[in-house]
Amino acid sequence: MFKKNSFKIKLTFSYVLLIAVSFVFVVFFLDRNLGENSLRDIRFSLVSQARLIEDQISPERLKQRDTAYLEALTARLSSKIDGRITIIDREGKVLAESRKSHEEISGMENHLYRPEIRDALTGLTGIDTRYSSTLKMDMLYVALPIKQNDDIAGVLRLALPLENVERTLSAVRKIILLGLFLALGVAFILGSLLASQTIKPINRMIHVSRKFSEGDFSRRIIQHSGDEIGELAATLNKMAQDIEDKIREIEVQNQKLAAIFNSMIEGVIVVDGAGRIMSINPTIEKMFGLLKKDVQGKAFLEAIRNNDIAEIIKSVLGHGRPLSTEITLVYPVHRIFEVNTTPIFGNEAVNGCLVVIHDITEMRRLETIRSDFVANVSHELKTPLTSIKGFVETLLEGALDDKKNNRNFLAIIQDHADRLDRLVDDLLSLSHLESKEIVLQRDDCNLYALVEKAIPGFASQSKKKNIEIKNELPEGLSLKVDRARIEQVFVNLIDNGIKFNKDKGFVRICGRVIDDKVHVSVEDSGIGIPQKDIPRIFERFYRVDKARSRELGGTGLGLSIVRHIVELHGGHVGVESTEGFGSKFWFTLPA
């Protein structure tokens, strides 16, 4: 019920202490006043009784020392009052005494020098309190002069044992003490009840506050009293609401940040002031083949063995200035990274840094391809142009009149001009295919018929080498494709099949449907392609034998155009070849 040192104990004992202290004060003053007051009352009543008795005593008979009368009178009156009655003559001799026999009285000592008697003999009311050796107890004495006109005939003395007063007082004290204990008991019970009532809302607040401290801000303290406790509860509720709102706000912000962090194409590493990894995003996991849980809390170099980045981090943490640099990773794969490192400040000191890593390998590769392409195009254009220029100059310098050769020279010029024309045509169609604007004109198209229509175009070319072109496509094979472009695919492949073939060879076109794809192949019995060249064969201007290709009128763009067209249709291209035995170019198209 009571916890050690609890507020309830303190409150209950405060009540009890308060009652006890008040009681002690009350008892202290009451006791003093009660003693004095009861003594005064007793004195007063004794004086009054004395007066009444004095009135009954005949001064004449006192003067005559009529002891029989006086003794009878004292005996009669003393039975009616509580005290002891003594009658003394002017000389201090005791004439009558209510508690003594006649013989005893005569043996009593003279009372003339007793203080109260002396006062009474001077006409005053004598009062004294002292120990009576006769009765062996404290006594209160009141003495009055017994007057006859202005003459004092003797003294009447009343004596009362103070034992009575003490008895009354101690009885009163007992009652007060009992009252004190009762009051303390009631104070304890009422106090603990009151304390319970006071403590209840506080306990409720403690319970709910504990929930707050555990992070549960959904609870509220129910306390509607308008007092300070009610106000405290309202303040705590408001505080909880505010904290809950702030936490929610922070959570939303965190979620947004986490979403950005996790979806960034750039790799991000957060490093603390000591150079330990605090967080990495999924891009970094992919870049370096790590798992966030394995590297968190580790020193940078321990987790990612890259000295260049570690040096940059060290420098940024040391100087507090952002740094950008490009680094090349050789192992495990060749990669080029742009690393941007920014310091994070806290309390005006650098307490970490943010490393943003951008993989620019692909960008650099494209840049290289673009510059290679420009160089290639320039080179391809330059060769026929130089020849044309050379022959034109020769003609102008006089060869025009050389009847034997002039037509020859013009034929060569025409040849180079044709080459230029083909090159520009191929470049234009390639650039058109690469541009995002291209729209395929898809139509139902029978592949067999398409190839049948194209074959006659190769008649003279194939005849020269005795090459047989076999259309082995299934006759009913129809697809929704851009007819003109797919025709170009076949033309380019058949053209290569003839160009790079041997005498009396063949070119065979086959096709079949596998699952949801149409597989088409153009196979030849030609010179084949060396294994090392196969991966690059579809690149622009890539040729196994440049001179031979040029000689045969090739531009080096044919296969590149094939790949673009097939990929635009959602298909793939590939080649299988054995040097010296022939090649099999294939492509797929969605059925």
Query: Contact residues for ligand ADP (CB under 6 A)?
Result: 492, 496-497, 500, 524, 526-529, 537, 543-545, 549, 554-560, 583
Choose between 204 and 519: whose C-beta lies nearer to ligand ADP. Answer: 519
Choose between 358 and 540: whose C-beta lies nearer to ligand ADP. Answer: 540
Token digits of residue 544: 């196994």
Choose between 281 and 560: whose C-beta lies nearer to ligand ADP. Answer: 560
Burial of 489 (0-12, 13-18, 19+ CB in 10 A): buried
Q: Minimal distance in Å, beta carbon 438 to ligand ADP?
A: 20
Choose between 488 and 549: whose C-beta lies nearer to ligand ADP. Answer: 549
Q: Minimal distance in Å, beta carbon 499 to ligand ADP?
A: 6
Burial of 367 (0-12, 13-18, 19+ CB in 10 A): exposed
Choose between 14 and 466: whose C-beta lies nearer to ligand ADP. Answer: 466
Residue with tokens 């449907």: 513
Label residues 151-181 b or e (16+ Cβ within 10 Å = b): eebbbbbbbbbbeebeeebeeeeeebeeebe
Choose between 266 and 539: whose C-beta lies nearer to ligand ADP. Answer: 539
Helix 447-454 / helix 483-499 crossing angle, nearest 10 deg? 50
Instruction: Identify whether the C-beta of residue 302 lies closer than 8 Å to the C-beta of residue 288.
Output: no
For residues 569 and 587, give the distance between their C-alpha atoms in angstroms, rounded to a whole number. 11
Q: Minimal distance in Å, beta carbon 494 to ligand ADP?
A: 9
Q: Minimal distance in Å, beta carbon 426 to ligand ADP?
A: 8
Q: Minimal distance in Å, beta carbon 459 to ligand ADP?
A: 19
Instruction: Identify whether the C-beta of residue 270 lies closer than 8 Å to the C-beta of residue 277.
Output: yes
For residues 265 and 306, give the distance between their C-alpha atoms in angstroms, rounded to a whole number. 20
Q: Minimal distance in Å, beta carbon 560 to ligand ADP?
A: 6
**Which amino acid is present at 80?**
K
Choose between 145 and 556: whose C-beta lies nearer to ligand ADP. Answer: 556
Choose between 471 and 555: whose C-beta lies nearer to ligand ADP. Answer: 555
For residues 296 and 26, give the distance between their C-alpha atoms in angstroms, rounded to a whole number. 75
Strands 582-590, 573-578: pairing is antiparallel
Choose between 31 and 545: whose C-beta lies nearer to ligand ADP. Answer: 545
Burial of 108 (0-12, 13-18, 19+ CB in 10 A): middle
Choose between 253 and 578: whose C-beta lies nearer to ligand ADP. Answer: 578
Q: Minimal distance in Å, beta carbon 561 to ligand ADP?
A: 8
Choose between 156 and 494: whose C-beta lies nearer to ligand ADP. Answer: 494
Q: What are phi and psi of 324, to 5 degrees?
A: -130, 140
For residues 335 and 355, give the distance between their C-alpha atoms in angstroms, rounded to a whole number. 17
Strands 506-514, 468-472: pairing is parallel
Q: Minimal distance in Å, beta carbon 482 to ligand ADP?
A: 20
Choose between 280 and 527: whose C-beta lies nearer to ligand ADP. Answer: 527
Q: Minimal distance in Å, beta carbon 578 to ligand ADP?
A: 11
Choose between 57 and 537: whose C-beta lies nearer to ligand ADP. Answer: 537
Burial of 439 (0-12, 13-18, 19+ CB in 10 A): exposed
Q: Minimal distance in Å, beta carbon 490 to ligand ADP?
A: 13
For residues 437 and 184, give the distance between their C-alpha atoms in angstroms, rounded to a whole number. 100
Residue 464's CB is within 10 A of a number of other CB atoms, namely 10
First-to-last alpha carbon distance for the chain, in angstroms, is 85
Q: Minimal distance in Å, beta carbon 367 to ligand ADP?
A: 23
For residues 448 and 452, give the distance between their C-alpha atoms in angstroms, rounded to a whole number. 6
Task: Give 110's DSSP letter.
Answer: P
For residues 57 and 59, give the distance between their C-alpha atoms in angstroms, rounded to a whole number. 6
Residues in the chain: 591
Nearest-5° Cα angle at 316, 311 to 318: 95
For residues 38 and 426, give the distance between their C-alpha atoms in angstroms, rounded to a whole number. 139
For residues 183 and 553, give the distance between their C-alpha atoms in angstroms, rounded to a whole number. 126
Q: Minimal distance in Å, beta carbon 365 to ligand ADP?
A: 20
Q: Minimal distance in Å, beta carbon 555 to ligand ADP?
A: 5
Choose between 308 and 545: whose C-beta lies nearer to ligand ADP. Answer: 545
Q: Minimal distance in Å, beta carbon 562 to ligand ADP?
A: 7
- Name the strand (E) or helix (H) holding 558: helix 558-568
Task: Give 400's DSSP letter.
Answer: G
- Taking alpha carbons only, the member of 90, 77, 89 closest to residue 49 is 77
Contacts of 471 (CB under 8 A, 6+ apart): 448, 451, 452, 455, 509
Q: Minimal distance in Å, beta carbon 272 to ligand ADP?
A: 55
Choose between 285 and 533: whose C-beta lies nearer to ligand ADP. Answer: 533
